[in-house]
Amino acid sequence: QTVNLLNVSYDPTRELYREYNEWFAQQWRDEHGQSVNIRQSHGGSGSQARSVIDGLDADVVTLALAYDVDALRQRADLIPADWQERLPGNSSPYTSTIVLLVRAGNPKNIQDWDDLVRDDVQVITPNPKTSGGARWNYLAAWGYALEEYGSEEAAFEFVEKVFANVPVLDPAARGATNTFVQRGIGDVFISWENEAFLAVEQLGRGQFEIVVPSVSILAEPPVTVVDANVDRKGTRAVAEAYLEGLYTDDAQRLAGKHFYRPSNPDIAAEFSDQFPDVNFFGIDDVFGGWDKAQNDHFNDGGHFDTILENIARNR
Protein backbone atom coordinates (compact mmCIF):
# COMPACT_ATOMS: atom_id res chain seq x y z
CA GLN A 1 0.00 0.00 0.00
CA THR A 2 0.95 3.60 -0.43
CA VAL A 3 2.23 5.87 2.30
CA ASN A 4 1.13 9.46 2.10
CA LEU A 5 3.49 12.15 3.16
CA LEU A 6 2.73 15.85 3.34
CA ASN A 7 5.58 18.31 3.04
CA VAL A 8 4.60 21.81 3.98
CA SER A 9 7.13 24.20 2.57
CA TYR A 10 7.67 27.83 1.69
CA ASP A 11 7.34 29.49 -1.66
CA PRO A 12 10.65 29.22 -3.55
CA THR A 13 11.25 25.54 -2.95
CA ARG A 14 8.62 24.40 -5.42
CA GLU A 15 10.96 23.33 -8.16
CA LEU A 16 13.45 21.73 -5.80
CA TYR A 17 10.93 19.53 -4.04
CA ARG A 18 9.12 18.59 -7.16
CA GLU A 19 12.30 16.91 -8.33
CA TYR A 20 13.42 15.64 -4.93
CA ASN A 21 10.04 14.03 -4.23
CA GLU A 22 10.34 11.96 -7.38
CA TRP A 23 13.83 10.95 -6.48
CA PHE A 24 12.87 9.99 -2.95
CA ALA A 25 9.78 8.05 -3.96
CA GLN A 26 11.90 6.03 -6.36
CA GLN A 27 14.49 5.49 -3.68
CA TRP A 28 11.97 4.39 -1.09
CA ARG A 29 10.30 2.02 -3.43
CA ASP A 30 13.60 0.46 -4.37
CA GLU A 31 14.59 0.01 -0.76
CA HIS A 32 11.31 -0.87 0.90
CA GLY A 33 9.13 -1.96 -1.93
CA GLN A 34 6.53 0.53 -0.74
CA SER A 35 5.26 3.37 -2.80
CA VAL A 36 5.18 6.76 -1.19
CA ASN A 37 3.07 9.61 -2.36
CA ILE A 38 4.41 12.97 -1.35
CA ARG A 39 2.05 15.85 -1.33
CA GLN A 40 3.33 19.40 -1.36
CA SER A 41 2.00 22.61 0.02
CA HIS A 42 3.69 25.94 -0.70
CA GLY A 43 3.08 29.45 0.50
CA GLY A 44 4.63 32.19 2.55
CA SER A 45 6.70 30.60 5.25
CA GLY A 46 4.83 32.15 8.17
CA SER A 47 1.45 31.37 6.72
CA GLN A 48 2.48 27.76 6.17
CA ALA A 49 3.62 27.41 9.77
CA ARG A 50 0.32 28.89 10.86
CA SER A 51 -1.57 26.26 8.89
CA VAL A 52 0.38 23.44 10.49
CA ILE A 53 -0.24 24.91 13.91
CA ASP A 54 -3.95 25.11 13.10
CA GLY A 55 -4.07 21.51 12.10
CA LEU A 56 -2.70 21.08 8.63
CA ASP A 57 -1.57 17.49 8.73
CA ALA A 58 2.09 17.97 7.75
CA ASP A 59 4.51 15.09 8.23
CA VAL A 60 7.49 17.30 7.57
CA VAL A 61 7.93 21.02 7.32
CA THR A 62 10.67 22.60 5.25
CA LEU A 63 10.37 26.29 5.98
CA ALA A 64 12.33 29.43 5.38
CA LEU A 65 13.63 30.03 8.84
CA ALA A 66 13.99 28.44 12.22
CA TYR A 67 11.64 30.84 13.90
CA ASP A 68 8.69 29.62 11.87
CA VAL A 69 9.55 26.02 12.61
CA ASP A 70 10.04 26.75 16.25
CA ALA A 71 6.54 28.21 16.34
CA LEU A 72 5.27 24.65 15.91
CA ARG A 73 6.78 23.93 19.28
CA GLN A 74 5.98 27.18 21.01
CA ARG A 75 2.38 27.41 19.95
CA ALA A 76 1.23 23.88 19.48
CA ASP A 77 3.82 21.60 20.96
CA LEU A 78 4.06 19.60 17.78
CA ILE A 79 7.79 19.08 17.92
CA PRO A 80 10.33 18.67 20.75
CA ALA A 81 12.51 21.52 21.94
CA ASP A 82 15.64 19.95 20.51
CA TRP A 83 14.28 19.66 17.02
CA GLN A 84 17.09 21.62 15.51
CA GLU A 85 19.71 19.23 16.85
CA ARG A 86 18.21 16.21 15.18
CA LEU A 87 19.78 16.73 11.79
CA PRO A 88 23.18 18.00 10.74
CA GLY A 89 23.85 21.65 10.13
CA ASN A 90 21.12 23.00 12.42
CA SER A 91 18.71 20.85 10.45
CA SER A 92 19.35 22.85 7.31
CA PRO A 93 20.27 20.46 4.50
CA TYR A 94 20.94 23.38 2.21
CA THR A 95 21.65 27.01 2.80
CA SER A 96 21.25 30.11 0.82
CA THR A 97 21.92 33.77 1.08
CA ILE A 98 20.49 37.07 0.11
CA VAL A 99 21.66 38.74 -3.07
CA LEU A 100 20.64 41.70 -5.17
CA LEU A 101 18.99 41.19 -8.50
CA VAL A 102 19.22 44.07 -10.95
CA ARG A 103 18.14 44.64 -14.51
CA ALA A 104 20.45 43.72 -17.38
CA GLY A 105 23.45 46.00 -17.68
CA ASN A 106 22.83 47.23 -14.15
CA PRO A 107 21.52 50.60 -15.36
CA LYS A 108 21.42 52.07 -11.86
CA ASN A 109 24.94 50.84 -11.19
CA ILE A 110 24.11 49.01 -8.00
CA GLN A 111 27.14 47.43 -6.40
CA ASP A 112 26.39 46.94 -2.75
CA TRP A 113 23.88 47.51 0.02
CA ASP A 114 24.76 51.20 0.14
CA ASP A 115 23.24 51.74 -3.27
CA LEU A 116 19.87 50.65 -1.95
CA VAL A 117 19.44 53.83 0.05
CA ARG A 118 20.03 56.12 -2.91
CA ASP A 119 17.10 58.35 -3.74
CA ASP A 120 16.94 57.21 -7.33
CA VAL A 121 16.74 53.52 -6.56
CA GLN A 122 13.55 51.55 -6.07
CA VAL A 123 13.86 48.40 -4.03
CA ILE A 124 11.63 45.35 -4.20
CA THR A 125 11.29 43.02 -1.25
CA PRO A 126 8.40 41.11 0.27
CA ASN A 127 6.97 42.00 3.63
CA PRO A 128 9.07 40.72 6.58
CA LYS A 129 5.91 40.37 8.61
CA THR A 130 4.55 37.64 6.40
CA SER A 131 7.49 36.38 4.36
CA GLY A 132 10.37 34.37 5.70
CA GLY A 133 12.62 35.39 2.82
CA ALA A 134 11.94 39.01 3.57
CA ARG A 135 13.07 38.60 7.13
CA TRP A 136 16.40 37.32 5.86
CA ASN A 137 16.52 40.33 3.50
CA TYR A 138 15.90 42.70 6.33
CA LEU A 139 18.42 41.10 8.64
CA ALA A 140 21.03 40.97 5.91
CA ALA A 141 20.74 44.70 5.35
CA TRP A 142 20.75 45.36 9.06
CA GLY A 143 23.82 43.20 9.59
CA TYR A 144 25.63 44.97 6.79
CA ALA A 145 24.91 48.39 8.24
CA LEU A 146 25.83 47.29 11.72
CA GLU A 147 29.17 46.17 10.48
CA GLU A 148 29.73 49.14 8.17
CA TYR A 149 28.51 51.96 10.45
CA GLY A 150 29.01 50.38 13.80
CA SER A 151 25.85 51.18 15.71
CA GLU A 152 22.33 49.86 16.12
CA GLU A 153 21.03 53.38 15.49
CA ALA A 154 22.88 53.64 12.21
CA ALA A 155 21.64 50.22 11.19
CA PHE A 156 18.09 51.23 12.03
CA GLU A 157 18.42 54.38 9.99
CA PHE A 158 19.93 52.44 7.10
CA VAL A 159 17.19 49.85 6.97
CA GLU A 160 14.60 52.56 7.24
CA LYS A 161 16.07 54.23 4.19
CA VAL A 162 16.03 50.94 2.29
CA PHE A 163 12.35 50.38 3.06
CA ALA A 164 11.58 53.97 2.22
CA ASN A 165 12.59 53.04 -1.30
CA VAL A 166 10.17 50.12 -1.49
CA PRO A 167 7.15 50.82 -3.72
CA VAL A 168 5.45 47.41 -3.42
CA LEU A 169 5.47 45.08 -0.48
CA ASP A 170 4.22 41.66 -1.53
CA PRO A 171 3.10 39.19 1.12
CA ALA A 172 5.50 36.47 0.00
CA ALA A 173 8.71 35.92 -1.94
CA ARG A 174 7.13 34.63 -5.11
CA GLY A 175 4.79 37.58 -5.42
CA ALA A 176 7.75 39.91 -5.08
CA THR A 177 9.68 38.07 -7.77
CA ASN A 178 6.69 38.44 -10.06
CA THR A 179 6.45 42.11 -9.30
CA PHE A 180 10.08 42.72 -10.18
CA VAL A 181 10.34 40.35 -13.08
CA GLN A 182 6.91 40.38 -14.68
CA ARG A 183 5.70 43.86 -13.92
CA GLY A 184 9.06 45.57 -14.30
CA ILE A 185 8.70 47.47 -11.06
CA GLY A 186 11.83 48.52 -9.16
CA ASP A 187 15.52 48.74 -9.89
CA VAL A 188 16.78 46.13 -7.47
CA PHE A 189 15.21 43.09 -5.94
CA ILE A 190 16.50 41.81 -2.61
CA SER A 191 16.13 38.14 -3.09
CA TRP A 192 16.89 34.67 -2.07
CA GLU A 193 19.94 33.67 -4.00
CA ASN A 194 18.05 30.72 -5.48
CA GLU A 195 15.19 32.94 -6.62
CA ALA A 196 17.67 35.30 -8.21
CA PHE A 197 19.26 32.48 -10.14
CA LEU A 198 15.89 31.24 -11.22
CA ALA A 199 15.07 34.66 -12.59
CA VAL A 200 18.35 34.99 -14.41
CA GLU A 201 18.41 31.48 -15.80
CA GLN A 202 14.82 30.77 -16.55
CA LEU A 203 12.46 33.70 -16.34
CA GLY A 204 14.27 36.22 -18.40
CA ARG A 205 17.51 35.11 -19.89
CA GLY A 206 19.70 38.14 -20.41
CA GLN A 207 17.32 40.48 -18.68
CA PHE A 208 18.71 40.36 -15.18
CA GLU A 209 22.02 40.29 -13.39
CA ILE A 210 22.94 39.17 -9.93
CA VAL A 211 24.93 41.57 -7.78
CA VAL A 212 26.61 39.93 -4.80
CA PRO A 213 26.89 42.36 -1.93
CA SER A 214 30.06 42.72 0.06
CA VAL A 215 28.55 40.93 3.02
CA SER A 216 25.37 38.96 3.42
CA ILE A 217 23.63 36.68 5.79
CA LEU A 218 23.90 32.94 5.81
CA ALA A 219 20.31 31.81 5.46
CA GLU A 220 19.58 28.41 6.88
CA PRO A 221 16.13 27.10 5.93
CA PRO A 222 15.55 24.28 8.40
CA VAL A 223 13.54 21.09 8.05
CA THR A 224 11.93 18.87 10.61
CA VAL A 225 9.58 16.01 11.10
CA VAL A 226 6.35 17.04 12.79
CA ASP A 227 6.42 14.54 15.58
CA ALA A 228 2.85 14.84 16.75
CA ASN A 229 1.54 14.21 13.26
CA VAL A 230 3.83 11.41 12.19
CA ASP A 231 3.26 9.56 15.42
CA ARG A 232 -0.45 9.77 15.02
CA LYS A 233 -0.30 8.70 11.41
CA GLY A 234 2.48 6.18 11.85
CA THR A 235 4.65 7.74 9.19
CA ARG A 236 7.68 8.54 11.26
CA ALA A 237 9.98 6.15 9.50
CA VAL A 238 9.34 7.40 6.03
CA ALA A 239 9.25 11.01 7.16
CA GLU A 240 12.60 10.76 8.82
CA ALA A 241 14.03 8.95 5.84
CA TYR A 242 12.64 11.71 3.65
CA LEU A 243 14.52 14.38 5.52
CA GLU A 244 17.67 12.35 5.93
CA GLY A 245 17.56 11.76 2.21
CA LEU A 246 18.10 15.45 1.74
CA TYR A 247 21.61 14.98 2.98
CA THR A 248 22.52 12.29 0.46
CA ASP A 249 24.82 13.20 -2.36
CA ASP A 250 22.11 12.95 -4.98
CA ALA A 251 19.84 15.27 -3.06
CA GLN A 252 22.62 17.69 -2.33
CA ARG A 253 23.30 17.85 -6.04
CA LEU A 254 19.64 18.47 -6.68
CA ALA A 255 19.74 21.36 -4.22
CA GLY A 256 22.71 22.77 -6.03
CA LYS A 257 20.96 22.36 -9.33
CA HIS A 258 18.09 24.41 -7.99
CA PHE A 259 20.53 27.04 -6.77
CA TYR A 260 20.57 26.17 -3.08
CA ARG A 261 23.97 25.90 -1.54
CA PRO A 262 24.54 22.25 -0.56
CA SER A 263 25.48 21.81 3.09
CA ASN A 264 27.84 18.98 2.20
CA PRO A 265 31.14 20.76 1.50
CA ASP A 266 32.20 18.19 -1.11
CA ILE A 267 29.11 18.64 -3.16
CA ALA A 268 29.28 22.38 -2.59
CA ALA A 269 32.68 22.34 -4.13
CA GLU A 270 31.20 20.83 -7.29
CA PHE A 271 29.08 23.96 -7.61
CA SER A 272 31.78 26.46 -6.77
CA ASP A 273 31.54 27.98 -10.24
CA GLN A 274 27.92 28.64 -9.75
CA PHE A 275 28.00 30.23 -6.33
CA PRO A 276 30.16 33.29 -5.85
CA ASP A 277 32.05 33.70 -2.65
CA VAL A 278 30.15 35.75 -0.13
CA ASN A 279 31.25 37.26 3.09
CA PHE A 280 28.72 35.62 5.41
CA PHE A 281 27.57 36.46 8.84
CA GLY A 282 25.21 34.26 10.83
CA ILE A 283 22.02 35.12 12.61
CA ASP A 284 23.17 33.77 15.94
CA ASP A 285 26.33 35.90 15.88
CA VAL A 286 24.78 39.18 14.95
CA PHE A 287 21.22 38.93 16.24
CA GLY A 288 21.49 36.45 19.08
CA GLY A 289 19.28 33.85 17.49
CA TRP A 290 15.87 33.88 15.87
CA ASP A 291 13.80 34.39 18.94
CA LYS A 292 15.58 37.55 19.82
CA ALA A 293 15.66 38.75 16.25
CA GLN A 294 11.96 38.15 15.86
CA ASN A 295 11.24 39.83 19.11
CA ASP A 296 13.43 42.88 18.52
CA HIS A 297 12.55 43.43 14.92
CA PHE A 298 9.39 41.81 13.66
CA ASN A 299 6.93 41.42 16.46
CA ASP A 300 4.30 44.10 17.01
CA GLY A 301 6.07 47.17 18.32
CA GLY A 302 9.44 45.96 17.07
CA HIS A 303 11.95 47.92 14.99
CA PHE A 304 10.20 47.12 11.75
CA ASP A 305 6.92 48.61 12.96
CA THR A 306 8.76 51.74 14.01
CA ILE A 307 10.46 51.91 10.65
CA LEU A 308 7.11 51.72 8.90
CA GLU A 309 5.72 54.44 11.15
CA ASN A 310 8.69 56.69 10.46
CA ILE A 311 8.41 56.16 6.74
CA ALA A 312 4.72 56.92 6.83
CA ARG A 313 5.39 60.05 8.86
CA ASN A 314 8.05 61.30 6.48
CA ARG A 315 6.05 60.59 3.38
Ligand X SMILES: O=S(=O)([O-])[O-]
Contact positions vs ligand X (CB under 6 A): 10-12, 44-45, 64, 126, 131-133, 172-173
Q: What is the DSSP letter of 107?
A: T
Q: Which does 264 bind (CB under 5 to 8 A by kind): another protein, ligand X, none?
A: none
Q: How many CA atoms lie within 13 A of 129 on its CB side?
A: 13
Distance CA 241, CA 256 (A): 20
Give Cα 184 to chain centroid, integer Å.
Answer: 23
Nearer Cβ to another protein (174/261): 174
Nearer Cβ to another protein (50/118): 50
Distance CA 113, CA 234 (A): 48
For residue 202, state whether it binds another protein (rule: CB under 8 A): yes
Nearer Cβ to ligand X (143/175): 175
Give the CA radius of gyration of the chain: 19
For residue 315, state whether it binds another protein (rule: CB under 8 A): yes
Q: Which of residues 113-132 bind another protein (CB under 8 A)?
A: 127, 129-130
Distance CA 146, CA 168 (A): 25
Of 55-63, 90-98, 144-152, 282-290, the segment contacting another protein by CB under 8 A is: 55-63
Altogether, the residues listed in the chain come to a count of 315
Nearer Cβ to another protein (223/268): 223
DSSP H helices, the chain, are: 14-32, 45-53, 66-76, 88-91, 132-149, 152-164, 173-181, 193-198, 227-233, 236-245, 249-257, 265-270, 283-287, 290-293, 303-314
End-to-end CA distance of the chain: 61
Nearer Cβ to another protein (87/223): 223
For residue 133, state whether it binds another protein (rule: CB under 8 A): no
Q: Which does 56 bind (CB under 5 to 8 A by kind): ligand X, another protein, none?
A: another protein
User: Least Å distance between CB 44 and ligand X?
Assistant: 4
Chain contacts with another protein (rule: CB under 8 A) = 6, 8, 11, 14-15, 39-44, 46-47, 50-51, 53-57, 71, 75-76, 127, 129-130, 166-172, 174-175, 177-179, 181-185, 198, 202-203, 298-300, 305, 308-309, 311-312, 315
